[in-house]
Amino acid sequence: MTKQVFRFKIVLDDILPQIWRVIEVESNITFYQFHLIIQGAIGWTNSHLHEFSEGNFRIGDTSEEVCEFGDPPQWEERDKKISDYFSKDKTKISYTYDFGDNWEHTIILEGIEPIHKGIEYPRCIDGARACPPEDCGSTPGYCQLLEILADPKHEEYKEMKEWAGDYNPEHFDKEEATEGMRNPLDLTEML
């Protein structure tokens, strides 16, 4: 199969205004590489378990250590390329990160194009807002954090400000996201 470029929109579910990214990746990467790229694009730290799914079909880590938490996925993410799943007919999948906080993402294949010479992949081409800080307690905890940070008179403001540091929920920079997508590892070593 000829390498192509897949353009995806990734939306963090259940948060308004939306946190999202549009990214482009080569079609021959594995789901594990895709996971690492998503981590960099969104701004997560790859500190928790994750899984791709559509209905009852699951793609992820099938190691014994991970499967202690339940049935193994049908596909091992290091063995399957994203082109094994995505096509013009299969354009959507869910991605869960951190089984404790259960950050649910909807990933939509928006386009399939030839590789353009002179463009380096993966890359982020658009997006909005910063991802929530790790371990903030899922959507309810994130909403509470935003409420506290917006009110310097709140009794927990000082503690949450110290914990969250210079977190700005409105921050998004596509160059930073692209750099994050490329930093996790040398993707060519994994092919």
Segment 108-147, tens digit of pLDDT: 999 999 998 999 999 999 999 999 999 998 999 999 999 9
- 144: containing domain: 132-169
Return the number of other C-beta atoms located less than 10 Å from residue 136's C-beta: 19
Q: Say whether both 120 and 70 belong to one domain.
A: yes
Q: Say whether both 83 and 174 belong to one domain.
A: yes
Q: What is the domain-level CATH number for residue 102?
A: 3.10.290.30
Indicate the SS3 state at residue 123. strand
Residues 6+ apart with CB under 8 A from 21: 9, 10, 41, 42, 124, 126, 127, 177
User: Residue 40: pLDDT above 90?
Assistant: yes
Segments of the chain assigned E as strands: 4-12, 19-26, 50-54, 57-60, 75-76, 92-97, 103-114, 123-128
Mean predicted confidence (pLDDT) in 149-166: 93
Which of the residue ranges 60-69, 97-106, 122-131, 167-176 would you say has the lowest mean pLDDT? 60-69
Q: Say whether both 83 and 105 belong to one domain.
A: yes
Q: Say whether both 51 and 123 belong to one domain.
A: yes
Report residue 176 as tokens: 């930073």
User: Residue 65: pLDDT above 50?
Assistant: yes
pTM (predicted TM-score): 0.90
Backbone torsions φ then ψ of 76, nearest 5 degrees: -80, 125
Q: Say whether both 92 and 153 belong to one domain.
A: no
Question: Which one of 22-26, 43-47, 183-187 scores highest in mean pLDDT?
Answer: 22-26
Q: Say whether both 10 and 33 belong to one domain.
A: yes
CA max distance for the chain: 59
Question: In terms of DSSP bridges, do strands 75-76 and 57-60 run parallel, antiparallel, or are they unpaired?
Answer: parallel
pLDDT at res. 184? 62
> Based on the structure, what is the number of domains in the chain?
2
Q: Say whether both 64 and 141 belong to one domain.
A: no
Distance, in Å, from the CA atom of 16 to the CA atom of 70, rounded to the nearest integer, reads 31
Q: Say whether both 126 and 136 belong to one domain.
A: no
% the chain with pLDDT above 90: 71
